[in-house]
């Protein structure tokens, strides 16, 4: 294991940090932004309004950055990103956004990034149809790429997203400690799309098998780090930071890493947390606050930071076979950008 990655100086990631990271692909990112709000199905003005709402709601485009930077880092010397690389970045974000729209329906969420969700503004039926439309647009992008390997990768991602959500539903209010289940769910719900974005462009660029595998490993490990940090922020974050109430996972009976680290112990705080989950007191404000306090005061936060850091290290290690470039430097910087949210 390598030494722990150095932490950025700021206590939270900023837009300026992200601008510096995406600088090598800034021009391509602007094209992606334009294409995202282009209705590939029809020219219905209302659909255009919905697309604008979901794509202008403050997303940082982390997955787009990963796709473009992974593609650029795998280019042969002197080559430039092409149309297929742009399309691959677009379809990555379309799938991500579609899954968020559907998740908001499943979770009955009223806010996403501090703004009203489509299901809250309109209704669940319209939100489901919008999510389906976004998946359809992603399918059109895949058809335009016309690469069977890439089609297979993203087809697997779609299956993983559904399987991860089903697995999470089936494990609600389950308080036994099963790290394999947690990691597999995190791969399905988050890391699989990170990995698709990070290495599919290398396939389109006809990069070496070693580079393709390295970028895939990078995506898996960065995706796991990202999900673990998200789970941590649900315990440590504020309403203003999260755009929703903290403890939403616990209230929904979703047991994530910070709680698992406490639950695997055999002491009074662990027993009390199990009781709160088992009796579903955790869904109420008082029970959720008590559960969060137990996690914060009994090592759940510190252990989760260490776990996220471990996957950050693995993501950095995987890039060692990628040739030095500004794009590779940005891929490394993205890891710190994700990890600094733990501070």
Least confident range of 195-209, 235-249, 298-312: 235-249
Measured distance CA(299)–CA(262) in Å, rounded: 7
Stronger pLDDT, 118 or 325, i.e. the higher one: 325
Q: What is the pLDDT of residues 116-137, one digit of tens each?
A: 888 888 888 998 999 999 999 9
User: DSSP secondary-structure letter at 191?
Assistant: I
Stronger pLDDT, 12 or 255, i.e. the higher one: 255
Lookup: tokens for 308: 């996220």
Stronger pLDDT, 115 or 228, i.e. the higher one: 228
Distances (CA, A) of 144 to 32, 109, 189: 15, 34, 25
Q: What is the mean pLDDT of residues 20-33?
A: 94
Q: What is the pLDDT of residues 53-95, one digit of tens each?
A: 788 765 789 999 999 999 999 999 889 999 999 999 999 999 9
Strands 115-116 vs 111-112: parallel, antiparallel or unpaired: antiparallel
Which pLDDT value is given to residue 83?
Answer: 96
Phi, psi of 111 (to 5 degrees): -130, 145
Distances (CA, A) of 154 to 71, 94, 95, 157, 159: 16, 12, 9, 5, 9
Architecture of domain 15-330: Orthogonal Bundle (1.10)
Least confident range of 106-115, 131-140, 263-272: 106-115
Q: Is the dihedral of CA 38, 43, 47, 50 positive or negative?
A: positive
User: Coil, helix or strand for 61?
Assistant: coil
Indicate whether 16 pLDDT > 50. yes
Q: What is the mean pLDDT of residues 199-211?
A: 97
Q: Where are the domains of the chain?
A: 15-330
Measured distance CA(272)–CA(202) in Å, rounded: 49
Indicate whether 242 pLDDT > 80. no
Measured distance CA(83)–CA(259) in Å, rounded: 44
């Amino acid at each position: 294991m390598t030494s722990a990655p150095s932490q950025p100086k700021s206590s939270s990631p900023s837009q300026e940090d992200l601008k510096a990271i995406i600088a090598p692909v800034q021009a391509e990112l602007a094209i992606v932004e334009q294409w995202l709000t282009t209705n590939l199905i029809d020219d219905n003005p209302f659909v255009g309004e919905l697309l604008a709402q979901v794509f202008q709601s403050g997303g940082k485009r982390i997955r787009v950055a990963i796709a473009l930077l992974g593609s650029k880092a795998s280019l042969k010397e002197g080559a430039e990103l092409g149309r297929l690389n742009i399309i691959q970045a677009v379809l990555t974000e379309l799938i991500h956004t579609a899954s968020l729209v559907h998740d908001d329906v499943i979770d009955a969420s009223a806010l996403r990034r501090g703004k009203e969700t489509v299901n809250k503004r309109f209704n669940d039926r319209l939100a489901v149809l919008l999510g389906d439309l976004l998946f359809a647009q992603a399918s059109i992008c895949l058809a335009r790429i016309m690469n069977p390997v890439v089609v297979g990768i993203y087809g697997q991602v779609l299956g993983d997203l559904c399987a991860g959500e089903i697995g999470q539903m089936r494990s609600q209010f389950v308080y036994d400690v099963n790290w394999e289940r947690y990691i597999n769910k995190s791969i399905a719900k988050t890391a699989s799309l990170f990995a698709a974005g990070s290495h599919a462009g290398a396939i389109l660029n006809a990069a070496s098998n070693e580079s393709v595998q390295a970028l895939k490993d990078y995506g898996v490990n960065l995706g796991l780090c990202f999900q673990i940090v998200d789970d941590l922020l649900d315990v440590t974050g504020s309403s203003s930071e999260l755009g929703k109430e903290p403890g939403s996972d616990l209230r929904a009976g979703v047991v994530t890493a910070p709680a698992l680290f406490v639950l695997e112990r055999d002491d009074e705080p662990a027993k009390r947390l199990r009781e709160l989950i088992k009796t579903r007191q955790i869904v109420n404000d008082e029970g959720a606050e008590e559960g969060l306090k137990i996690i914060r005061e009994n090592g759940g936060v510190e252990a989760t930071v260490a776990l996220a850091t471990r996957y950050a290290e693995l993501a950095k290690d995987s890039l060692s076979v990628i040739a030095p470039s500004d794009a590779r430097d940005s891929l490394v910087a993205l890891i710190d950008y994700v990890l600094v949210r733990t501070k």
